[in-house]
């Protein structure tokens, strides 16, 4: 077995051992190589199950959290998905293997530019990456079948819930401090919104406005 194949096997084993069991999600994460999404001194740690720093003071989530959040969305091949917080572009790339269309927004134009270049390089043609204040969602493209937020809000964001179709699912970290955040699954029904808690997590905060590139 080549070193690359062995590394990929260990990567998938780590995902499964941490609760990522959906076959379509595992297949998507096997197809999308995390390596190109991590640059610089941390690139040799791309296949470890840990969050890593990226540009603009942001992070790329650990793969098992990407897998668990994606799994909780229960994406079907016809779904239109909104991601708030493009970051490295890795989460959007995984979503693109499962959904019909992915819209991803980030407050940092540098991150959006770099993610777009990677999507082009890999040949992912069903992702639209936009520099925008993600706390407002994307009203022009709403409603969405699924919404994923990769930054922590103090409460489940009402604006984003308003852009979710009835029957849709939103996954969002919620918490008022860096120390304690909970990953919430919100399901929009005819009668309102039902919430389930997945697990404790740690994400950067969801901030309003556009960021200054660093």
What's the first-to-final CA gap in the chain, in angstroms?
41
The DSSP output letter for 210 is P
Distances (CA, A) of 108 to 27, 134, 147, 201: 30, 10, 19, 23
The CA distance from 110 to 213, in Å, is 6
The CA distance from 67 to 57, in Å, is 23
184 close to 173: Cβ distance less than 8 angstroms: yes
Active site residues: 61
The structure tokens listed for 153 are 């809000």
The CA distance from 214 to 211, in Å, is 9
91 close to 66: Cβ distance less than 8 angstroms: yes
């Amino acid at each position: 077995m080549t070193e690359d194949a062995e590394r990929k096997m260990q990567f998938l084993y780590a995902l499964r051992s941490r609760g990522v069991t959906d076959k379509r999600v595992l297949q998507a994460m096997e197809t999308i190589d995390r390596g190109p999404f991590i640059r610089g001194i941390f690139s040799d740690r791309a296949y470890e199950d840990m969050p890593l720093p990226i540009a603009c003071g942001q992070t790329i989530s650990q793969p098992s959290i990407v897998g668990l959040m994606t799994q909780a969305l229960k994406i079907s091949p016809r779904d239109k998905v909104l991601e708030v917080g493009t970051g490295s572009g890795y989460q959007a790339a995984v979503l693109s293997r499962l959904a019909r269309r992915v819209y991803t927004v980030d407050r940092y134009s540098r991150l959006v530019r770099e993610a777009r270049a990677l999507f082009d390089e890999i040949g992912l043609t069903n992702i639209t990456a936009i520099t925008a204040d993600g706390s407002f969602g994307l009203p022009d493209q709403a409603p969405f079948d699924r919404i994923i937020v990769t930054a922590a809000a103090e409460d489940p964001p009402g604006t984003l819930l308003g852009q979710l179709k009835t029957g849709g699912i939103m996954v969002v970290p919620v918490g008022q401090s860096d120390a304690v955040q909970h990953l919430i699954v919100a399901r929009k029904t005819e009668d309102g919104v039902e919430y389930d808690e997945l697990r404790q997590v740690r994400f950067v905060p969801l901030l309003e406005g556009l960021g200054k590139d660093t």
